[in-house]
């Protein structure tokens, strides 16, 4: 036999449930019916919170499990790999720039006189 402990809902949850129930209240609806609707809404909110807490616990368990399984890379391999990046520029832009300046120089020399 398992013993389940019922926690009294928070005043905030009760207040929110009552607000929602009053906002959807029909004109011919009695106060007792509104209270029953608010109670149902409150149970829904409590169930949602319970599910979210359970999901958070499961996620924390998985995260903890993954972090414990992660091997320590620095302990197994003490070698360092050095990488040098060498940037080389292509010769074409510089050649075109040089040819352009030569062409401008020759044009100016020929049309000066």
pLDDT digits (tens, 9 = 90+) for 17-67: 888 888 888 888 888 998 899 999 999 999 999 999 999 999 999 999 888
pLDDT for residue 73: 58
Q: Are the C-beta atoms of residues 39 and 16 closer than 8 Å to each other? A: no
- pTM for this entry: 0.50
Beta strands in 35-77 (DSSP E): none
Q: How far is the C-alpha of 13 from the C-alpha of 41, rounded, in Å?
A: 9
pLDDT at 1 over 60: no
Beta strands in 41-102 (DSSP E): none
């Amino acid at each position: 036999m398992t013993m389940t402990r019922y926690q009294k809902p928070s005043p905030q949850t009760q207040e929110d449930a009552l607000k929602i129930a009053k906002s959807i209240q029909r004109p011919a609806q009695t106060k007792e019916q509104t209270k029953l609707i608010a109670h149902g809404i409150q149970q829904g909110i409590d169930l949602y919170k319970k599910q979210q807490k359970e999901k958070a616990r499961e996620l924390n368990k998985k995260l903890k499990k993954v972090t414990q399984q992660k091997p320590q890379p620095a302990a197994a391999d003490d070698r360092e790999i050095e990488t040098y990046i060498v940037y080389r520029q292509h010769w074409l832009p510089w050649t075109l720039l040089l040819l352009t300046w030569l062409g401008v120089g020759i044009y100016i020399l020929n049309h000066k006189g």
